[in-house]
Amino acid sequence: MASPSVMQLSSLSRRSLSTRAQLVRSARPLRSSGFSQQSFQRSTRRTYADAASAPAPKPQKRFRFLRWSWRLTWLTGVGMIGALGYSIYEQRNPIEQFDVDPTKKTLVILGTGWGSVSLLKKLDTENYNVVVISPRNYFLFTPLLPSCTTGLIEHRSIMEPIRNILRVKKANVKFYEAEATKIDYEKRVVLISDDSEIKGDISHTEVPFDMLVVGVGAENATFGIKGVKENSCFLKEVGDAQKIRKRIMDCVETAMFKDQTEEEVKRLLHMVVVGGGPTGVEFAGELQDFFEDDLKKWIPDIQKHFKVTLVEALPNVLPMFSKQLIDYTESTFKEEAISIRTKTMVKNVTDKHIEAEITNPDGTKELETIPYGLLVWATGNAVRGVVRDLMNQLPAQKNSRRGLAVNEYLVVNGTENVWAVGDCAVTNYAPTAQVAGQEGAFLARLFNTMAKTEAVENDLKALSVAQSEAKNDEDRNQIFDEIRERQRQLRRTKQIGPFQYSHQGSLAYIGKERAVADISWLSGNIASGGTMTYLFWRSAYLSMCFSSRNRVLVAVDWIKAKLFGRDVSRE
Ligand code: FAD
Ligand code: NAD
């Protein structure tokens, strides 16, 4: 049974809102100060009597605002938890899929990166027999890959299995974990090879296509510099991040080996990053954080010699960012004790040194040998072999150097049924995830429209036959109306414009819980850097993660690292 005081309070609550507000205000200190129930009742009665005789106070706008804010926050929280729960449920309980009519066109998609996956996400798979081919059976959220090199984020948190993505499509999609070794444009087939450890009786075969999307990305540029492939680590794939993580700890533990000379300790603890683009800068920042937050705490003996150096051939790092952000990055690196060597071009790499050509302020050049323990090579993109081979088959690609030249609908020049997206295509835009994602989404719209157009055109053909065979005028007129409606529909669906990229801005993490951002705003640009930008960077990338699962895992990794630090074990 409710206590009298509670009953009194509830009867009061029916009278007036303002009186209740006053009562609650007067009751609150009593409850918190641990008064007896009688004194609480006496107090509420007295307050009620006072309130009844006193003129009703004006509703306080300030509190009303707070009350509504609280309600809104509460409702938003409930809504977000509901949406998360529903999306997890949807992901865990995929619907039954149906097989596509085998007479429909075969659409082959190469790759499971940003371009191909954003195409798959929006594609109506019931319109085509879709076949996806990639040596990687997952999508990788590359913007957070540098954080995996130090164990801030576990690599599985930024991977989304391609099977999860394909299984939730309405119609069945085939996936082959294989590498496309050749695209034979004349024969309209893709030759594929299973390069995984376990092979069945068949590990090479060919897949015919009616339509082909090439989204194989790019490989690491080495510019043919000797020793790069053999001695350095790249940073493009999950395996690369794992290799770097292991090597950092290997260098540290080897430097601590008994009787190691000081010179060797210095070399082993010298972490060199070649390439001052966003990949190199973000990795250098993450590595210095790892040292500052964890390594020097658990292995204090490395403190004296641990050093991160960023080597860049151009006069400054991050050339795609505005001048003030370049300056901000360079000054932050100085604060973090990351040394930047600009105008330094690496020419040769051995297992223990790099040889670099330095341009002095007076324009003279000299060669310098820089010893290293860990070398991370991040000098941008080069064309993949399979793409180069396709370019060689097409005379229209003769003048293209950086990848497949495409038209404004992303059709590969010199073909009529091959499209290219992402880093393997040459457009007017930088090779970024943002561009690849928008290109993929554009192709999905294009293909969905093409399928709709084809269906309407088939309907039109059938209707014109029916019209010519109609028995009377009334039937003929009715069919004619339908034809007009279908023609209108056709005009509407055919109105798809060329691909247009909308730049949302560039973001990069620079270490010490700071980030830089060049954000497009209306027709201008906002440049910002610092801790607030870092919080924006984190929330932007968290919201951009592929799935709710990824979002939760990444957030948990961040919390874990904050509470317990990064793991300094070698595996
Ligand atoms: P990818 O995403 O590289 O995918 C290529 C796919 O093709 C992969 O699945 C691969 O396995 C597959 N493939 C390869 N060879 C074959 C073959 N022979 N046959 C079939 N499949 C094949 N961009 C941003 O906009 N913002 C960022 O913050 C950002 N951060 C980055 C951080 C790092 C560390 C790196 C390396 C890149 C970053 N980028 C960022 C750039 C971005 O990742 C790329 O521009 C983007 O991945 C390009 O997408 P894509 O689909 O062309 O290629
Ligand atoms: P990049 O092409 O942007 O930069 C490579 C850098 O390496 C260049 O500045 C180049 O001058 C330098 N370099 C080349 N050869 C050298 C040599 N021999 N010695 C010294 N320096 C040398 O490469 P990246 O950073 O790997 O980025 C690749 C693409 O991915 C870019 O389009 C980039 O915008 C995108 N990306 C974006 C982000 C982000 O937005 N946060 C992060 C990573 C990558």
What six digits make up the tokens of 190?
Answer: 């893709």
Question: In this structure, what are the phi and psi dihedrals at residue 526, rounded to the nearest 5 degrees?
Answer: -110, 125
Distance CA 86, CA 93 (A): 10
Q: How far is the CA of 186 from the centre of ligand 2 (A)?
A: 36
Question: How many other β-carbons are positioned within 10 Å of the β-carbon of residue 524?
Answer: 7
Nearest Cα residue to 446 out of 129, 130, 123, 215: 123
Considering only residues 38 and 119, tell me which one the structure prediction assigns the higher pLDDT: 119
Q: Which residues contact 347 (CB under 8 A, 6 or more apart)?
A: 225, 355, 356, 357, 367
Reported as a pLDDT band with limits 50, 70 and 90, residue 329 is very high
Place of tokens 């005028």: 473
Structural contact between residues 289 and 387, judged by C-beta atoms closer than 8 angstroms: no
* pLDDT tens, position by position, 7-28: 343 333 444 444 444 434 444 4
Q: Given a cut of 50, is residue 297 above it in pLDDT?
A: yes
Q: Which long-range contacts (CB under 8 A, 24 or more apart) does 21-24 make?
A: 21/60, 21/63, 22/47, 22/51, 22/57, 23/47, 23/48, 23/51
3-state SS of 295-321 is HHHHCHHHCCCCEEEEECCCCCCCCCC
Q: Report, as an integer, the average pLDDT of 427-447.
A: 97
Within 94-220, strands assigned E span: 106-110, 129-134, 138-140, 159-161, 174-177, 179-184, 189-193, 204-208, 211-214, 219-220
| Atom 38 (ligand 2) nearest CA | 278
Sign of CA dihedral 12, 13, 14, 18: positive
Question: How many other β-carbons are positioned within 10 Å of the β-carbon of residue 129?
Answer: 21
Q: How far is the CA of 115 from the centre of ligand 2 (A)?
A: 19
- 230 CB-side CA count, 13 A: 11
Distance CA 296, CA 410 (A): 50
The response to whether residue 430 sits with its C-beta less than 6 Å from ligand 2 reads yes
By most ligand atoms within 8 Å of CB, the mutation choice from 432, 435, 439, 516 for ligand 2 is 432
Q: How far is the CA of 26 from the centre of ligand 1 (A)?
A: 62
Q: Report, as an integer, the average pLDDT of 224-234.
A: 98
Nearest Cα residue to 84 out of 437, 542, 559: 542
Reported as a pLDDT band with limits 50, 70 and 90, residue 454 is confident
Distance CA 466, CA 9 (A): 78
Q: Report, as an integer, the average pLDDT of 430-443.
A: 97
Give the helix ranges, DSSP H, for 260-304.
262-268, 278-290, 296-298
SS3 374: strand
Distance CA 280, CA 308 (A): 11
Place of tokens 């195409």: 119
Q: Which residues contact 537 (CB under 8 A, 6 or more apart)?
A: 507, 508, 509, 515, 517
Predicted local confidence at residue 59, as pLDDT: 58
Structural contact between residues 490 and 453, judged by C-beta atoms closer than 8 angstroms: yes
What six digits make up the tokens of 274?
Answer: 């070649």
Q: Classify strands 514-521 and 524-530 as parallel, antiparallel or unpaired.
A: antiparallel
Q: Report, as an integer, the average pLDDT of 362-380.
A: 97
Reported as a pLDDT band with limits 50, 70 and 90, residue 491 is confident
SS3 131: strand
- Ligand in closest contact with the CA of 343: 2
The response to whether residue 160 sits with its C-beta less than 6 Å from ligand 1 reads no
Structural contact between residues 169 and 125, judged by C-beta atoms closer than 8 angstroms: yes
By most ligand atoms within 8 Å of CB, the mutation choice from 212, 283, 423 for ligand 1 is 423
* pLDDT tens, position by position, 517-540: 999 887 788 999 999 999 999 999
Q: Which long-range contacts (CB under 8 A, 24 or more apart) does 61-67 make?
A: 63/21
* pLDDT tens, position by position, 460-485: 999 989 888 888 888 888 898 999 88
Distance CA 378, CA 235 (A): 7
Q: In Å, how far are 33, 226, 276, 330 from 342, measured between CA atoms?
A: 66, 21, 8, 11
Structural contact between residues 347 and 356, judged by C-beta atoms closer than 8 angstroms: yes
Q: Classify strands 374-377 and 270-274 as parallel, antiparallel or unpaired.
A: parallel
* pLDDT tens, position by position, 76-89: 999 999 998 988 88
Distance CA 421, CA 214 (A): 6
Q: How far is the CA of 368 from the centre of ligand 1 (A)?
A: 33
Query: Within the chain, what is the greatest distance between any pair of CA atoms?
Result: 104
Q: Which atom of ligand 1 is nearest to the CA of 181?
A: 18
